[in-house]
Structure 1
């Protein structure tokens, strides 16, 4: 039986008692001090390692920060400096209808709690070559972002830093969209008709997510189709399903830019990128 397995079978008091007997034996036989320290320290280190092996479940609220990977020299990608996760500069969304190439506008990390735990990296893509897109120099950054989301095909790409339950993502999405609905009704930016029509798509949004986890570093693509006259806007969660609602589809993407947004780093990079547009 290995020393690790032997030590984990006994309580801490027994191990400390054993360490004292080592010390007594060393004194009686005049063992060198360095050997004694190695014996005691080795026992302590092995016990600590045993406890670490047992605690191998990482939860969303665990204070674990993944190591940052070396900078990628590939010019086709941008690295999130906070997590080391890379995003392609352009993406083409597969669809039955022709869709434009989307350009990466910005990336950032999403953190939660006062411990600043990293949950996922997020990238924002948009069809900046859309001829209908009208950005004026007099527009504020927030006005430009709203114009891009209202006019163009867009995508939010989420890449988790660890295995993340879909239920956590679902709850965060629902909180964000219901908060925007409540605030919009208060300040008059959302009409009562829009609020009533949004109720059913929000209920459907709750049902899209399975009772499993999104695997670490596996992207979740949330694609906002461009507006089509006479039809509600479509928001598709890749491999999960879609909802059809002008208000929900648009506001879901815009919530990433409300105030500082879920990722201040994302909004900061997006603003910097569109300043010259």
Structure 2
């Protein structure tokens, strides 16, 4: 009877069940239309940690790169400031201030009064006089009468250079080494005999040997120590001109440190006796003064007995219409003080001004290149 009704019989293998819902059955979970955020705390913490780490690395990399760039720029600037000027010389090759090559030559110009000036390469203190005259210090009451009649002594410039401090090369002063013109022959003879005992002048190979010895930290200091102890040269001076405003206390501290550094090596024995201590107290007392403006002259003079005379020209006499004159501000009798101070510029592992040491050695080599006595004759 179902055939006429049009109904299709289902296979018996198909089990059709209609689910029924009771009060115990679970309600089907329907998807919600509201957005749901699945937060992963550990993942967020890891991402934050990675971000902060990368940020720190980036900042430290920038800091290191900046410091390296600053140090490199300062180093290159110092090299340019200390590089010897490539200047042509107006002096003949026989002159003690003319170098054997362009790097060692010094330009000599003349001022309005006809005085010869050597260019320093510094804009604040552009020139140094080629020769200076230094009158003798006031004689003591027990000095012989001949000493009172002695006139000024002429000194000849051997070499000069700039004193710089710190790794960025802060310029402090220009210093020049002068030797009494009449005493150059004794220095020529002593250095020549040191290399070749039978020679009166040195050939190129011997001059190179002397240059190496004077620039050697140990051999150079020993050579100058012996020469100064013997009074060779008998009279010499260091002329110090600040390139920036300073004071006597600042200069004193630098000089005292230099003397104390050289004192243990003087004559192969340490200078620490009571007499040397008293001499150092006298030296400090000389510099118990005020300011030293730039371009003012401080002259340190060592006489034939090794006595140190400190002279200063503040320029006040020029302002009042005078010609300018140095004033003796103090004296130290112990020759070890001046010898240690001289070694601070002339020799050692570390000198106050390497350009000055190089220039002085170049001037010394020019001396020994010619026969003994001829340099003084040409300068005079």
Scaled by the length of structure 2, what TM-score is found?
0.48
1:235 aligns with 2:308: yes
Classify the secondary structure of the residue corresponding to 1:73.
strand
Matches within 5 A, 1:148-159: 149=228, 150-151=231-232, 152-159=234-241
Distance 1:216 1:89, change over 3 A: same
- Write the distance in 1 (CA, Å) between the matches of 2:171 and 2:119: 15
Aligned residue for 1:101, secondary structure, equals strand
Q: Which residue of 2 aligns with 1:189?
A: 268
Which residue of structure 2 lines up, in the alignment, with residue 37 of structure 1?
A: none
Q: Across the two proteins, how many residue pairs are aligned to each other?
A: 201
**1:45-194 alignment, distance < 5 Å:** 73-74=109-110, 76-83=116-123, 84-95=125-136, 96=138, 97=147, 98=150, 100-130=153-183, 132-133=186-187, 134-137=189-192, 138=195, 140-141=213-214, 142=220, 145-146=224-225, 149=228, 150-151=231-232, 152-181=234-263, 183-184=264-265, 189-191=268-270
2:371 aligns with none
What's the CA shift for 1:180? Answer: 1.3
Partner Cα separation in structure 1 for residue 288 and residue 108 of structure 2? 33
Cα deviation, residue 76, structure 1: 0.5
For structure 1, the 5+ residue unaligned runs are: 1-64, 66-70, 228-232
Once the two structures are TM-superposed, the CA of residue 253 in structure 1 deviates from its matched residue by: 1.4
Length-normalised TM-score, structure 1:
0.64
Larger radius of gyration: 2
1:265 aligns with 2:347: no
Q: Secondary structure at the match of 2:174?
A: strand
Q: Runs of 5+ in structure 2 lacking a partner? A: 1-80, 82-106, 139-146, 196-209, 215-219, 312-326, 369-380
Give the equivalent residue in structure 2 for 1:59: none
CA 1:81–1:198: 2 relative to 1, 3 Å:
same
Partner of 2:318: none
CA offsets 1:137-191 (integer angstroms, 9 cap, x no match): 315333665566432201111000121111100101111111112x327xx7125
Q: For the residues of structure 2 that align with 1:174 and 1:113, how far apart are their CA atoms? A: 18
Larger CA deviation: 138-147 vs 244-253: 138-147
1:118 CA displacement: 0.3
Q: Distance in 2 between matches of 1:174 and 1:78?
A: 29
Query: Per-residue CA shift, 1:178-232, capped at 9, x if unaligned?
Result: 1112x327xx71256x6442111001111111341111101101111112xxxxx
How far apart, in 2, do the equivalents of 1:165 and 1:263 lie?
A: 19
- The separation in 2 between residues aligned to 1:73 and 1:237, in whole angstroms, is 28
Q: 1:241 is paired with a residue of what secondary structure?
A: strand
Cα separation, 1, equivalents of 2:280 and 2:332: 8
Change (3 A) 1:102 1:72: closer
Contact in 2 for aligned 1:154/1:223 (Cα 8 Å): yes
1:254 and 2:315 aligned: no
Residue 146 to residue 271, structure 1, CA distance change in 2 (3 Å): farther
